A and B are shown apart, each in its own frame.
Chain A
Amino acid sequence: EPEVTQTPSHQVTQMGQEVILRCVPISNHLYFYWYRQILGQKVEFLVSFYNNEISEKSEIFDDQFSVERPDGSNFTLKIRSTKLEDSAMYFCASTPPAAFRGAFFGQGTRLTVV
């Protein structure tokens, strides 16, 4: 069964550093997403991406964040100048081109900012 894969599974970074979280969505999917879950809190939507541009974003997704599809397979989330409160599990997801029927999620990257 095709899967969304994320790397790395765990990333530790120092406050103020930039991190890039990587995702390989399912190959025939066209919509891509990032969600995050701070420990003990809800899974929160960050951003959706379609046709090489952001289609929706939440209030959390400020100028510190950016997304990119650098090639035909990868989808990345960049966090500039990380803060302690960015520590969370970040989930990538993708959906096929048909009407929305639920997203397929990756295993997540646990980001720890120290």
Chain B
Amino acid sequence: AQSVSQHNHHVILSEAASLELGCNYSYGGTVNLFWYVQYPGQHLQLLLKYFSGDPLVKGIKGFEAEFIKSKFSFNLRKPSVQWSDTAEYFCAVNPNNAGNMLTFGGGTRLMVKP
């Protein structure tokens, strides 16, 4: 069965630091890739998604992610984090032949210190 791994469970950064959160998946076929964010007390919100084309995708709030097919990775990046980025970040995969089901990674809790 496919799986999604987020190796960083907790990340603490100071404001203005750069962020990179890792996401790797195990699935050999074509996949759709997503990053969701959950701010404290709020719903899961879509940050960005990749379906095809340019492997560098830009999302909301200055986030971007790069799909590297050879590494089965879809890492999330932001050049300069803000305190308001404190949240939990989830990577998710939808294999093209798996209907509309999302498989999530374990999440990464990001704390940004002011």
Q: Which residues of A contact B (CB under 8 A)?
A: 3-4, 31, 33, 35, 41-45, 48, 55-56, 58, 91, 93, 95, 100-108
Distance in Å from the Cβ of A93 to the closest Cβ of chain B?
8
CA distance A105 to B36 in the complex (A): 10
| Interface pair A104/B104, CB less than 8 Å apart | no
Q: Which residues of B contact A (CB under 8 A)?
A: 32, 34, 36, 41-46, 49, 51, 90, 92, 94, 99-107
CA distance A56 to B36 in the complex (A): 22
Q: Which of A33, A41, A95, A101 contacts B49 (CB 8 A)?
A: A101
- Whether A103 touches B43, Cβ cut-off 8 Å, given contacts A42-B107, A43-B90, is no
Q: Which of A35, A42, A55 contacts B99 (CB 8 A)?
A: A55
| Interface pair B43/A4, CB less than 8 Å apart | yes
Q: Which of B41, B90, B101 contacts A45 (CB 8 A)?
A: B101
CA distance A34 to B99 in the complex (A): 14
| Interface pair A91/B44, CB less than 8 Å apart | yes
By beta carbon, the residue of chain B nearest A31 is B100
By beta carbon, the residue of chain B nearest A103 is B102
CA distance A93 to B100 in the complex (A): 11
| Interface pair A44/B104, CB less than 8 Å apart | yes
CA distance A58 to B34 in the complex (A): 20
CA distance A107 to B45 in the complex (A): 10
Distance in Å from the Cβ of B14 to the closest Cβ of chain A?
27
